[in-house]
Structure 1
Amino acid sequence: MTSMSRSAGDGACAPRPLVAAVIVTFNPELPTLRKMIEALQAQEAEIVVVDNASLASVAEQIAKLTGELSCGFEALAQNLGIGAAQNRGFAAVAKMDGNSVSGERYVLFLDHDSIPDVGMVGKLVAADLRLRARGVRVGAVGPAIVDVRTGTTGRFVSSGSFLVKRIPCESGCQELAVDFLISSGTLVRTDTFAKIGGMDEALFIDHVDTEWCLRAKAAGYALFGVCGARLIHSLGDEVVSAWLGRKREVFVHSPLRDYYMCRNTLLILRATRMSLGWRVFLLSRLVGSIVFFVATQAPRLRRMGFMLMGLRDGLLNRQGKWTPPW
């Protein structure tokens, strides 16, 4: 059944497209997952949970929770990575409509630790509809990300002729044209997602969203950050403060994630259409990350080893899931 929203004109009820949230889980905290689902259902979103081979005891609890809350659930037999899980979730959403995709359905991609703020879903849909009414070829829209640990609202990423920069939402701004949206919180119409194509499963994790966004931009689609929509999220395993030209919050991942960051940066630089500004941005970020994390974040030697192997495999064009040799 199509949900209803009140039109701005005469107060009558007009159809609003259905939204299905695809939540990818991997050993999630069950209370947080419950809170996510309940928040999304309060905003009239249907739910599909795709579990990426969590521990058997955790997967059993997820299955129980999704059954209790009337959500779709698909348990993958092995961890296929974030991109593959998102693609499986999209396929499950398409099945809701008889394997068809249209402008009557949106998919909202979410990680298992992302809590939508009140009204986030409706604000994202409204922004998409508003932009399309102006004739904009919308690829996707996404919320402002608020870090659950620090309360800091993240900035969006946009590029000019030669530079990629991070821009904040200014007071009164409804949406910003951007180059990149993190996958958690990204809302895309199903027909648009089908035209752009699914997530690159060969990347496994890290830069999956970067590659998709750059591919969407190269295909002529526009991406937008919606300033009034907020998602409470946690990037990285921890956040540290550092002085890097100015005070910054740096998100620290595990050495294994550092491997994927290094490898996949080189993979997308090799295979993805992007501007010179983006190439400079990705390369400088890669070098800066290696120097900062190896110099400051334990375990330094293990982290350096994983990063070097990531660089090697990126140069050799090795893809997919990686198992450390020790």
Structure 2
Amino acid sequence: MKLFIVDWTGLTKSRGGRLIKSKVSIIILNYNNFADTIECLKNVRQIDYDNFEIIIVDNHSTDHSIMELRKSIQSNEVLLPAQINYGYAAGNNIGIKYALNQGTDYLCILNNDVEVDKHFLTVMVDTLEKHTEIGIAGPKICDYYDRNRIQSAGAMVNMNLGRATDLYKGQKISEVSQKILSCDYVGGACLVVRASAIDKAGLIPENYFLFYEENEWCAHFKQHGYQVAGLTEATVWHKGSHTIGKISGLSEYFMYRNLVIFIKRNGNLKNKIIFNLYFIAFCLKSLFTKKNGIRFFKYYCDGLTGKNSYQYLQK
């Protein structure tokens, strides 16, 4: 008889009398940034969790990423080249589908510009094993260059104004008091998902290309009865948006356009009325106070229609 055991120390299944930990698939997305990806790989290999696989998805890079990554990966690591770049969600979904077909228990989505504490995955999986109501969780994300300073430990969202408040943002690690924070979403730089919950919540929404995918994904988990949590005992350090920084205006465009899409898809009627009045007022103010302020109307219209003016990136 197969016995299932859960315990706080590392857990999990006993097969033929041998205890093994739950399997975790760590998915790292690369796009024209193999140097950071290789550095991330070296770091992840040092973690103390002993039942994980690494899946690298190359999101149709146009540099030498594929060649460099093939030289750098080990025999137990997988490289999946995407045939076209449809964005963050679609790229990670390639890895998620592969991992689910391999029978994984948890999925860890990890940005390639993140450094992890060697205990982070043990802490997160142990917590998820103990708290089965949590469907998706993130660690506290700290600044790579100011390592004692927190960027986020999860976030709360004001659906009327579309504003997100990062928990513990800018505070020192020593100022964190709670171990588990209930929140609306966790940042896509690093998050861990219960594989069985994806049957209900689905894959990462692919309507955004960049930004707000994890916001909506977390909303889907909550809509299906799971909790979203920031786990402050787990730590990673985030360098920042190195890839998007290489393309002028990309970050601003998708941040505003996708905010409109997010509220349109996830807000109630009251949220939508208040938000649209607020955003139109913001666009009018920008028209008179910002250089080329009319661009914000473009972002707003693209959000309402779902049009992607950066489609050339997908070629």
The AA in structure 2 aligned to 1:311 is: Y
Q: Of 157, 162, 168, which aligns to 2:155?
A: 157
Give the superposition deviation at 1:280.
Answer: 6.6
Work out which of the residue numbers 70, 78, 83 in structure 1 matches 2:76.
Answer: 70
Partner of 1:100: none
1:19 maps to 2:58: no
Tell me which amino acid in the other structure corresponds to 1:154: Q
SS of the counterpart of 2:64?
A: helix
Matched, 1:313 2:309: no
**What is the match of residue 102 of structure 2?**
96
Per-residue CA distance 1:299-320 (angstroms, 9 max, x = gap)? x54xx56544222211223259
Pick closer, same or farther for the CA change 1:172–1:257 going to 2, 3 Å: closer
Query: Distance between the aligned counterparts of 1:210 and 1:95, measured in 2?
Result: 25
**Counterpart among 203, 206, 210 of residue 208 in structure 2:** 203
Deviates more, 1:48-57 or 1:270-279: 270-279
Task: Choose the corresponding residue for 2:234, options 229, 236, 239.
Answer: 229
TM-score in terms of structure 1 length: 0.75
Cα separation, 2, equivalents of 1:237 and 1:282 = 31
Task: Please say if residues 90 and 206 of structure 2, whose CA atoms lie closer than 8 Å, have aligned partners that are also in contact.
Answer: yes
AA aligned to 1:61 is: E
Q: CA deviation at 1:265?
A: 1.1
Change (3 A) 1:59 1:24: same
- Counterpart of 1:258 in structure 2 is 252
TM-score using structure 2 length: 0.77
- Structure 2 regions of 5+ residues with no counterpart? none
How large is the RMSD of aligned CA atoms in angstroms?
A: 3.8
Q: Which moved further from structure 2: 188-197 or 169-178?
A: 169-178
Distance 1:51 1:161, change over 3 A: closer
Against the structure 1 CA distance between its residues 74 and 159, is the aligned structure 2 distance closer, same or farther, given a 3 Å change threshold? closer
SS in 2 for 1:202: coil
**Structure 2 residue corresponding to 1:87, chosen from 90, 93, 96:** 93
Separation in structure 1 between the aligned mates of residue 269 and residue 123 of structure 2, nearest angstrom? 30
Aligned residue in 2 for 1:246: none
**1:182-193 alignment to 2 at 5 Å?**
182-193=187-198
Distance in 2, Cα, partners of 1:64 & 1:310: 41
CA distance in 1, matches of 2:25, 2:279: 34
Counterpart-to-counterpart distance in 1, 2:222 and 2:150: 24
Shift of 1:167: 2.8
CA drift of 1:39 comes to 2.7
Q: 1:65 to 1:284 in 2, by over 3 A?
A: farther
**Cα separation, 2, equivalents of 1:176 and 1:198:** 23
1:121 Cα deviation after fit: 0.7
Check whether the contact 1:262–1:286 (CA below 8 A) recurs between aligned residues: no
Matched, 1:148 2:144: yes
Choose 109-118 or 314-323, whichever is displaced more: 314-323
- Say whether the 8 Å CA contact 1:23–1:49 is kept in structure 2: yes
* Contact residue 51 and residue 59 of structure 1 kept, 8 A: yes
Measure the CA separation in 2 of the matches of 1:287 and 1:253.
28
CA offset at residue 40 of structure 1? 2.2
- Tell me the alpha carbon deviations over residues 207-258 of structure 1, each in whole angstroms, 9 at most, x when there is no partner: 11111112222222110000011111133459xxxxxxxxxxxx99841221
Of 13-22 and 185-194, deviating more is 13-22
Residue in 2 that maps onto 1:214: 219
SS in 1 for 2:94: helix
Cα offset, 1:35, TM superposition? 3.0
Residues 32 and 63, structure 2, Cα contact 8 Å, conserved in 1: no
Deviation at 1:195, TM superposition (A): 1.7
* Residue type of the alignment partner of 2:136: A
Query: Structure 1 regions of 5+ residues with no counterpart?
Result: 98-103, 239-250
CA displacement at 1:259 relative to structure 2: 1.3
The CA deviation at 1:33 is: 2.1
The residue type paired with residue 142 of structure 1 is: G
Q: Measured at CA, do residues 17 and 85 of structure 1 come closer, stay the same or move farther in structure 2, by a change above 3 Å?
A: same
Structure-2 change in CA distance of 1:60 and 1:177 (3 Å): same
Equivalenced residue count is 289
- CA drift at 1:175: 1.0
2:43 paired residue among 35, 39, 47? 39
Indicate the SS of the match to 1:318: coil
Aligned partners of 1:215 and 1:272 also within 8 Å: no
